[in-house]
Structure 1
């Protein structure tokens, strides 16, 4: 699954803002069965700004009562970062063991192309069969989040 948008900011600014902004400000709107994020709780590396240390992890709390643990896997500032989401609880825990996620930031014109990717890790046949439906819902979820990012990066910075 992949979705992109172009923002009116340099790659380093986009990288810092996307990784540093609170998830509740970007992912505050669910889409169909994909819930909004209602909060995060640091697990490790919480003393540093999010996304600045390999292995940093936090628990993401969802509007449907579920949660997952997000862990930073790679950082190639200001062009890319990868992460995993595991320890899923809630409705999707029966179908998936986790997600491999990626953010990419590439110069485009006077701005930056921000690309978000997700790869589901199905637990079995049910997760593989449900994947196309989840991917379809994720496109709407990602569109809402990327719109929030585009708006935030168009606003003047303090």
Structure 2
């Protein structure tokens, strides 16, 4: 990791196959999974959301509870295996602290389960690395450890519904 970067990774095991895990983690609208935590604002809305959130080059704008926003752009996507996106155009406080961020998700089959890894790296603006590292250490890492279990719980709930009714197809964008 670069000297001006700060990041964190979390891991979790979802009792579902990689396809279901990938679909739920990435197709469920962000306000369902990303609440506020300490000084970190919640995701409260999404603008310019494509019909699916899975193709390289797609972008969307996340609206946050403090009135700020950030743009996400998909840089790589392999269904059931991995997903990555860059975050740019942070506004308000984070816009003054970071020039951007990178998020990556991997999904590895573990028998009838999926090992999920979620990694996040913030790129601090010059002279602000120490503050970004402190925010990541004190809040962001703990936030990720709270969010991933919520995502895994939804993955497992969708998997259980699919097991009871194989004809049921999960379409998180329809809800």
TM-score (norm 1): 0.90
Aligned partner of 2:41 in structure 1 is 35
CA distance in 2, matches of 1:70, 1:154: 26
Structure 1 residue ranges without an equivalent (≥5): none
Asked if 1 retains the 8 angstrom alpha-carbon contact of 2:25 and 2:155, the reply is: no
Give secondary structure in 1 for the equivalent of 2:122: strand
SS in 1 for 2:21: helix
CA shift, 1:111, in A, is 0.7
For 1:15-61, what per-residue CA distance to the aligned partner results, in whole angstroms no more than 9, with x for missing partners?
1111100101111x211111110010116xx2x3112x111000000
How far apart in 2 are the matches of 1:20 and 1:97?
Answer: 26
Structure 1 residue 110: deviation in Å? 2.7
SS in 1 for 2:153: helix
Higher Cα Rg: structure 1 or 2? 2
Q: Within 5 Å, give how 1:96-111 maps onto structure 2.
A: 96-111=98-113
Q: Which has the higher strand share?
A: 1
C-alpha distance in structure 1 between counterparts of 2:95 and 2:84, whole Å: 21
Distance 1:71 1:94 in 2: 20
> Aligned with 1:125: secondary structure?
coil
Cα distance in 2, alignment partners of residues 114 and 9 from structure 1: 11
Supply the distance in 2 between the matched residues of 1:50 and 1:143 (Cα, whole angstroms): 23
Aligned-partner SS, 1:112: strand
Aligned residue in 2 for 1:23: 30
Q: Deviations over 1:100-123 (max 9, x none)?
A: 110110112431111111111111
User: How many pairs are equivalent?
Assistant: 152
Partners of 1:8 and 1:114 lie apart in 2 by: 11
Contact 2:71/2:89, CA 8 A, preserved across alignment: yes
RMSD: 1.3
Is 1:129 matched with 2:130? yes
Which position in structure 2 is the counterpart of 1:10? 17
User: TM-score of the superposition, structure 2-length normalised?
Assistant: 0.82
Aligned to 2:147, which of 131, 145, 149? 145
Aligned partners of 1:109 and 1:124: how far apart in 2?
45
Where do 4+ consecutive residues of structure 1 move more than 2 Å?
Answer: none
Give the unaligned 5+ runs of structure 2.
Answer: 1-7, 163-167, 169-175
